[in-house]
Amino acid sequence: MEKINRTKPLLEQMKWQPTQKKEYLEPKRKKCILFAGPSCAGKTTLITQLLSADTRLAIPHQVTTRAQRAGYTDKSTVSTAEFAQLEAGNDFFHKGTSYGNLCGTLKSSVENLVRSEKIPVLDFPLALIPELKAANPDFEFIVFYILPKTLQEWYQRMVATERNSFTRLKASLSEFHQILAHDQQDTMIIIENGDNAQNTALQKIQQVIESYLADTGDNASSVE
């Protein structure tokens, strides 16, 4: 595994060239938007802003065995036994682990969104994306990779938000290596430090989504 330079822009360290849109989306396939990237890259803030601006998008219901963090309401906490029961009933659109805790998105919630002509949006681990695609061939996945400009900027954010535990740093660094070596041509969004950086990133994401949906005839405007 090659060492990541702390100060060199991450885009210059990639083994692949990200594109701004795919050309092969099929109009009749269901859509799902995925955000991948390490902790403190800015995924949660971007998703929140995106959903506030576009009524076509929504987050499906998720469950986890981790206790809910203060101020977060995006997931429901269940016991290990309850999680196993959902798994036995084939009730998950996807399932996995996050920092040692079980987590999953309910299949019924995703299906309800699709029936309501909504596009599900997920914060999703890069390593599990191939498995998710293989398990759901009726979906077309629009993938955004969210990264800071440099590794140094990212680490400063981790320290500032007190997320710099060994376990979290190790998992996030693994995510960095996976993204830089990834050979899939999806969309890369770099969030630099600065007051307008988040808005600039959001605008780029909205443009890509509009481009996808325009190509497939699903571009009824709902952006506020």
Could you state, in order of their start, the residue ranges of all structural domains in the chain? 1-56+118-218, 61-117
Least Cα distance to 21 among 204, 218, 220 occurs for: 204
CA distance linking residue 44 with residue 202, whole number of Å: 12
Q: What's the pLDDT at 24?
A: 43
Supply φ then ψ for residue 45, to 5 degrees.
-65, -45
Q: What's the pLDDT at 2?
A: 59
Note every long-range contact of 1-7, with CB atoms under 8 Å and residues 24 or more positions apart, other chains counting: 1/177, 2/177, 4/151, 4/173, 4/176, 4/177, 4/180, 5/151, 6/150, 6/151, 6/152, 6/155, 7/150, 7/151, 7/152
pLDDT in tens, the chain (224 residues): 556 666 666 556 555 444 444 444 454 578 999 998 887 878 888 899 999 999 999 999 999 998 876 666 668 899 999 999 999 999 999 988 877 789 999 999 999 999 999 999 998 887 788 888 888 888 989 888 887 777 788 788 888 877 777 777 777 777 777 766 665 556 767 666 665 777 788 888 888 888 877 766 554 434 34
Its CATH architecture, for the domain 1-56+118-218, is 3-Layer(aba) Sandwich (3.40)
Q: What's the pLDDT at 131?
A: 87
Query: For the domain 61-117, what is the CATH code?
Result: 3.30.63.10
